[in-house]
Structure 1
Amino acid sequence: MAIFANRALLATGWADNLRVELEEGCIARLTPNVTAQPGDTHVDTLLPALANLHSHAFQRAMAGMTEYRLAGRDSFWTWRDLMYRFTAHLSPEQVQAIAALVYLEMQEAGYASVGEFHYLHHRPDGQPYDRLAELSDRIMEAAAETGIGLTHLPVLYSYAGVGEKPLEPGQARFGNDVDRFCTLVDQARDARATLPGDCRVGIAPHSLRATSPADLAQVVAAQGTGPIHIHIAEQPKEVAEVQAGLGARPVEWLLANAPVDARWCLIHATHMTEDETRTMAASGAVAGLCPVTEANLGDGPFNGPTYLNAGGAFGVGSDSNVLISLTEELRILEYSQRLRDLSRNVLVVGEGSVGQTLYCGAATGGAQALGRNAGEIAPGQLADLVAIDSRNPALCALRSDQLLDGLVFAAKDHVVTDLWSAGRHQVQNGRHVNRDRIVSNYRTAIAGLLADL
C-alpha cells in the first residue's frame, strides 16, 4: 500500500510529490519528486499524526453537564463531585460505546493514537467484576472498533488523599491495592493480544494523593518496562496537601523519590517553581498537557517558556474530553501563555514558527509518552499519519513553511481529510469509516444512561 502526497513534512523539512510506501503498519520507503502510481491513495499535505496522550474516555458523556454555576465558587473539586455521581451509573456496554465515539472523534481530529488513563475498574458498589479487567477489556474493544493506536494505562487508585485516607463512596469503582492492581494489569496485558501489535499497556499511579510512597515504589518496580503516567501538581490545593503530607511539593517530591526518566509522563504539572520546571525538563520525562481541560477546570497555565528553554519534552491530551480538538489543544496551549505573559509568540525557543514548534514537539513528545515508534515521517516509524487539505480557505493563502501556523492558529479540525493509525486507514474524506455504527451505538448507550440518572 502507498500514499502519494503533494507535499509532506519530514524530519528534514518539506518534501514535494512524495510517495510513502507502507508495510505491516510501518513506513517502509519514502520517494520524493515522483508521480503517483495506480492504486496509491492521493492526499494533499501529509503530516506525522499526533498522539492524544491523556484521556478519560467515559467523561465525554458528561460534556456540557457541568457548566452551570453553583452557589459559591466552582472549581475542579466541585466538578469532581459531579463526576463521581455520574460514574455510579455507567455499565460496561456504555463504557465501550462512549470510548468508541471518543476514539472516532480523536481520529477525525487528527490523532492516530491515545493514552487511556483508565481508573474506572469495578461495579458501582466497588465490587470487582467476575473478570477483574472487564472495563479494561471494554476499552480495548472500543480501540478495536475504531482502529486507533491504544496505549492502555490502568490506574492504581488506593486512597482518597495523602496519608492513606480511606476512599470515599464516589471512588469505590476506582480502588485497588497493589496486589490486585498488578493482577488487573496482567489481565490487561493478556487481552492486548487481541489487538494489533502497536497496542501497548503501561501503568498509571493516579497521583501522589491516591497512592502512597511505598505503594508507588512497589508498583513501579513490579511493572518493569513500559510507559508510566501520573497526575501531578494540577491544583494549588493538591500542591498544599502533598507538601503538608510528604514534606515537599509534588513535582519536587516525585523527582527526588522516583526513578523518573523518559518513560514517565507527568500529567498537567501545572503548578511548578522555576527550579522544578528545569529539573523536570532535565529528567527526560514528558509533560502531558491538556490545555482545553485545564482551561475548563480553571487549573491555570503551564510554565511553558522555562520548560522549553530547558529542553523539555511535551505532548497534548484531551483529558476530560469536554471538547476533542487537536487544533484547540495546541492553540489554547500558546494562548494561555500569551494571556499570562502579555506577549505574543511565546512557545518557541529563539526565533521560528510557533505552530511548527507546537505541532512537531507534541508529535514526538506524545509518541514518546505512549511508547510508540512514531512522531516523524521516516522509514521504520509506525505509519501514524494525517492528511490535511491546504486548499481549505483557512490555509490556501499560506506557503508550505506557514502551513503549521495556519493549522494551529487559523484552522479547525475539519481540514483533516485522512488519517492512518499504524497504517490502518480509518479516516477517509474527513469521515471515520465506521462512523454511522459507532454513533448509533453511542446514542443508544446515552439514552439508557440518561434514563438512569
Structure 2
Amino acid sequence: MPDVATRTIFADKAMLADGWTSGVRFILRNGRVSGIESGVAARAGDERHACVLPGLGNLHSHAFQRGMAGLAERRGDKADSFWTWREVMYRFLDRMTPDDLQALAAIAYLEMLESGFTRVGEFHYLHHDPQGRAYADPAEMSAAIARAAAETGIGLTLLPVFYAHSGFGGQPPSEGQRRFLHDLDGFARLLDGAGSVVAELEDAVVGLAPHSLRAVSPEQLAALETMAPGLPIHIHIAEQVREVEDCLAWSGQRPVEWLLDHSAVDRRWCLVHATHMTEDETRRLARSGAVAGLCPITEANLGDGLFPAQIFLAEGGNWGLGSDSNVLIDATEELRLFEYGQRLQHRGRNIVSSSHVRSTGEMLWSQAVRGGAQALDVKEGGAKAGLSIGLPFDAVSLNLDHPSLAARGSDRLLDGLVFAAGRSGVDCVWRFGAQVVSGGRHRARDEVVRRYRDRLGRLIG
C-alpha cells in the first residue's frame, strides 16, 4: 500500500517531464506527487538520493511464460520457429492452476520492478481450467494476476484477451487453445469480473485485448471495440511473415493495413509487434496516434524480425516496451536491443537519437516512458507521463557509484545505464510512493522465489 503521510524525496538530479533538473524535492501525498521544487537544497527530513528517473511501463507481458524461460531452446526434428515454440507453450500451461499462475506472475513482476519497470500491461489469455471449462468465477485466473500485482507492488493494467479462432476466416480453435476461448457474452462477464478483482489495487486499469486478427472475426472485433469505451485496446499484429501471408490470402490485405481500414485505431490502441509492415503501413500507423508495442528480447528470441523504426519515428510515431514472453526480464536490455537491432539493420550508430536529443539512452528512456504511459492508460487530469504533479510517484534511483555511471554528467547517465551498467545500475524503485526495491533487491524476493521454485517443480517435473 502507498504511504499515507506527506513525505519528501530529494534528488541531486532528476529526469522530469521537461528534462534533467538539479536539486529536486518531490513532495508526496498518498503515493502521488503533490509538489515538485527544483533548484533547491535538501532539507532536514528529506530522503536523499543521487539520481531519480521515472519508472518505465511494461506494456506487454504474458506473466505465466516466465516459468518456461529456457525450456524452448532445444532444436526439434524440423526447423524451429515461432509456431513450434507455441506448441511448447501450450504444453507448459496444460496443468497450471490459479495458485501456479500467481507464483509465476509474482516472480515476473518482482524482476520487472528490480529492472526499472513500475507498471505492467498483462495481456491475459489463460482464463479457464485445464480441461477448458470456465471456472465458477470467470475471473478466477485474473484474480491470480491481481494477487501477484498486490504482493509485489507493481502497477497493473489488466488486459483480458478475447480469443475465439485458430486462424483467419474463423477457423476452429485447436485443443491447445481450449483454456483461452470465449464467446462475446462470456467475455463480457469476464470483463465485469476483471473490474472487480482489481478494485482493491491502487490506480489499476482494465482494458481489453482482441488476441490477434487470426483469433477474432471482423464482427467480433467490432463488438469488442464497443465494450470498453475510452479504455485501452491492445492487439498482436504482423509479428510473423506467415501471419502476413495468411492475412493476404484471407482478405487481400496485410494485417496492419486491414486493421487501419476497418477499425477506428487511435491513441487508445496498442499494436503489439507490428514487425512486418510496408512503408505506407508504417507511416499510417505512426499518424494514427496508436502506440507500437515493441518487445525486442522476445522478438529476437522467436526470430520475428526487426521493427521499421526509422520511418516510424520520422513520422512522430509513439512506441513503448514490453517483456512479452519474459524469457529475460530487463528493461535496459530491451532498450539496448531495440537500438542495436536498428544499428545492425541500417549499419549505423545512434539510430534512435536526434539532433534535439543527442543522447541515445535518454531518447530511448523518455520515449518508452511516454509510450508506456499512453498504452497503459496512466493519466491524472492533464498531467504528463513520468514524474509529474498528480501522477503516482513511480520512480527509479541509480547507483552513481557503479563503474559505468561514475563521473558522468546528466546528459551521459542514461547512455551509461542502457549501454553499459544495465540493471545492475538500478538502486531503488518506488511504486505509488512505496519503496519496493532497495539496493537492487525487491523487499519480498526470498518468499516469492521460494514459492516459485516449489510451483515450477510441479509444472515441469
Q: In structure 1, give the amino acid aligned to 2:304.
A: D
Is the deviation greater in 165-174 or in 7-16?
7-16
The offset of 1:350, in angstroms, is 4.2
Shifted more, 68-77 versus 372-381: the winner is: 372-381
Mean Cα deviation higher: 159-168 or 218-227: 218-227
Secondary structure of the equivalent of 1:223?
A: coil
User: What residue is the counterpart of 1:18 in the other structure?
Assistant: 24
Structure 1: runs of 5+ lacking an equivalent: none
Secondary structure of 2:141 counterpart: helix
Whole-angstrom CA distance in 1 between matches of 2:92 and 2:45: 48
1:169 pairs with one of 170, 175, 183: 175
Q: Distance in 2 between matches of 1:31 and 1:348?
A: 29
The residue number in structure 1 matching 2:292 is: 287
1:380 aligns with 2:390: yes
Structure 2 SS opposite 1:193 = coil
The amino acid that maps onto 2:107 is L
1:400 paired residue among 407, 410, 417:
410
Q: Choose the corresponding residue for 2:184, options 164, 178, 188.
A: 178
Question: TM-score, length-normalised on structure 1?
Answer: 0.97
Q: Give 2:152's aligned residue.
A: 146
Query: Would you say the 8 A contact 1:383–1:420 is kept in 2?
Result: yes
Match of 1:243 among 236, 245, 248: 248
Cα displacement (A) at 1:346: 1.0
Separation in structure 1 between the aligned mates of residue 173 and residue 44 of structure 2, nearest angstrom:
60
1:188 to 175, 191, 194: 194
Letter in 1 for 2:352: L
CA distance in 2, matches of 1:35, 1:429: 24
- Residues 92 and 460, structure 2, Cα contact 8 Å, conserved in 1: no
Q: State whether structure 2 residue 211 is matched by structure 1 residue 201.
A: no
Q: What is the DSSP-based 3-state SS (H/G/I as helix, E as strand, rest coil) of the residue aligned with 1:112?
A: strand
Question: Equivalent residue for 1:274?
Answer: 279
**Aligned partner letter, 1:344:** R
| Structure 2 CA distance for aligned equivalents of residues 375 and 293 of structure 1 | 26
Equivalent of 1:429 in 439, 444, 461: 439
Name the SS of the counterpart of 2:113 in structure 1.
helix
* Aligned-partner residue type, residue 90 of structure 1: M
State how far apart, in whole Å, the 1-side matches of 2:320 and 2:179 are. Answer: 29
- CA distance in structure 1 between the partners assigned to 2:217 and 2:354 by the alignment: 37
Name the counterpart of 2:4.
Answer: none
1:89 CA drift (Å): 1.6
Residue 125 in structure 1 maps to residue 131 in structure 2: yes
In structure 1, give the amino acid aligned to 2:184. Answer: V
Match of 1:217 in 2: 222
Q: Are residues 1:332 and 2:342 paired?
A: no
The alpha-carbon deviation at position 411 of structure 1 amounts to 1.5
Over residues 343-375 of structure 1, what are the superposed CA-to-partner deviations in whole Å (9 max), with x where a residue is unaligned? 111113446221111110000100100001263
- Distance apart, 1:30 and its partner CA: 1.1
RMSD: 1.2
Task: Output one character per residue of 1:20-48: Cα deviation in whole Å (capped at 9) or x when no partner.
Answer: 11112211111123333344322111001
Letter matched to residue 394 of structure 1: S
% identity of equivalent residues: 52
**C-alpha displacement at 1:87, in angstroms?**
0.9
SS at match of 1:436: helix
- Output the CA distance in 2 between the equivalents of 1:348 and 1:302: 16
Tell whether the 8 Å contact from 1:292 to 1:332 is kept in structure 2 after alignment: yes
1:369 partner amino acid? A
Aligned positions, number: 450
CA distance in 1, matches of 2:17, 2:224: 37
Letter in 1 for 2:392: L
**2:9: which partner in 1?**
3
C-alpha deviation, 1:395, in angstroms: 1.1
Give 1:445's aligned residue. Answer: 455
> Separation in 1 of the partners of 2:148 and 2:208?
19
Preserved contact between residue 388 and residue 418 of structure 1 (Cα < 8 Å): yes
Q: How far apart are the structure 2 equivalents of 1:128 and 1:89? A: 15
**Which blocks of at least 5 consecutive residues in structure 2 are unaligned?**
1-6
Indicate conservation of the 8 Å contact 2:17/2:385, yes or no.
Answer: no
- More moved, 349-358 vs 11-20: 349-358
Superposed, which structure 2 residues align to 1:352-391 within 5 Å? Answer: 352-373=358-379, 375-391=385-401
CA contact (8 A) 1:50 1:375 kept: no
**1:12 Cα deviation after fit:** 2.5
In structure 2, the residue corresponding to 1:417 is in which secondary structure? strand
Superposition pairs of residues 80-159 of structure 1, within 5 angstroms: 80-159=86-165
1:366 is matched by which residue type in structure 2? G
Q: Deviations over 1:43-69 (max 9, x none)?
A: 111001100100000000000111111
- Counterpart pick for 1:44 among 50, 62, 65: 50
Structure 2 distance, partners of 1:225, 1:114, is 19
Q: Does 1:418 align with 2:428?
A: yes
